Structure 1
Amino acid sequence: MTQPSRTPTQITDPTGRTVAANVRRVREARGLSTYELARKLKDAGRPVSPSALAKIERGERRVDVGDLMALAVALNISPSGLLLPVDTEPLADVEITGSRTVRALDAWEWIDGQGPLHDPPAGVRAAYEARMTYRLHGRPHWLVDLEDQEEGGTEGRNRAARLMRAAGIERVEGTNRYRLPKRDESDG
């Protein structure tokens, strides 16, 4: 009696598809074959065969947390660089598994521990408390302290400054005025 042919697993969740695409993108950008990446993973203590890597890249094999961390080490990137799309504009929508579609900038700030993914509560005090609670439970206290003491204060690192940079809005040096980016004649 013959066995029915097995349909390959297809990863359908947005994060799984993104991880698959990012593993291939970074591996190719580093000029590594699947065999070379498999050797690096073995050296990192997480052996994954070249055929398993090919299945990961095709979205036919799930990546567990241990695989994700080992891939990030072997590819010399942050784990967040595998979890979120990097080829998108800051204000473009990205899908987050188990959540809704959010702006890429919001997703990156969340995954890098800079702030909550959900919309902040109304009111300055409530928003501040939500952000601090997020940082308290999602980051080591010493890292929060170091970030707060960074040279140059918070200007240029806060959410409003990031959104303005993402939209191309520039501050006119020496003033409290801002200017919109110049429009290209081809934009119409």
Structure 2
Amino acid sequence: MVEEGNKSNPVGESVRANVRRLRAAKGYSYAELAERLEEIGWRIPVIGLRRIESGDRRVDVGDLMALAHVFNSSPLDLLVDPHADEGEVYQVTSSLVSTVESTREFIRGNQPLMDIANNSSPAASGWMSDFVTGLPPARGQKVWQKYIEQLRKDGDQ
């Protein structure tokens, strides 16, 4: 059974809270936000915006992109609060838990998502090599280099 809205969806809950936070920070009413979205060719009526913030309407990828643009932000800032501490726990699903830092790097495409609840890390499970294999060669090489640098840095501590 698929749950409606964001109330049982941790990432949806994060998006909901960040939409509310950014709308308040910009001082937009629901009507103003709906109007700004219309100006860029994306329609979410006032009732839809209210339902997003209450958790009764999901945000799809198009909504995410349009809202980020109107807030002069990034989709990442809607998915993960930019003010959250990097070591803070980020609930991805009901059973997948990561850190804010790992989640941000995963969304940026820089590393696989680390599941701290099950102690699975990219290095321990071979995820990193699988992850890099799926990237374009130049990007994969950059990610590997960053990963090796981090391993060396961690080894020096």
TM class, shorter-length: 0.7 to 0.9
- CA gap of 1:90–1:58, structure 2 versus 1, over 3 A, is same
- Uncovered stretches (5+) of structure 1, i.e. residues with no partner: 1-7, 164-175, 179-188
1:108 CA displacement: 1.0
Q: Could you tell me how far apart the structure 1 residues matched to 2:132 and 2:89 are?
A: 24
- Residue 64 of structure 1 pairs with residue 66 of structure 2: no
> Quick one: percent identity of the two aligned structures?
34
TM-score normalized by structure 1? 0.63
Q: Compute the displacement of 1:159 (Å).
A: 4.0
Distance 1:85 1:160, change over 3 A: farther
Superposed CA deviations along residues 103-153 of structure 1, whole A, max 9, x for unmatched, are 11111111111111131234xxx86xx535424525x556x28x94xxxx9
Aligned length: 145
The alignment's TM-score, normalised by the length of structure 2, stands at: 0.74
Residues 9/116 of structure 1: CA separation in 2 closer, same or farther (3 Å cut):
closer
Where does structure 2 lack aligned partners over 5 or more consecutive residues? 115-120
Aligned to 2:134: 137
Q: In structure 2, what residue type is equivalent to 1:101?
A: V
Structure showing greater relative contact order (alpha-carbon pairs closer than 8 Å, 6 or more residues apart)? 2
* Structure label with greater radius of gyration: 1
Alpha-carbon spacing, 1:10–1:94, altered in 2? closer, same or farther (3 Å) = closer
Q: Distance in 2 between matches of 1:99 and 1:162?
A: 30
Q: For 1:144-166, what per-residue CA distance to the aligned partner results, in whole angstroms no more than 9, with x for missing partners?
A: 28x94xxxx96xxx546998xxx
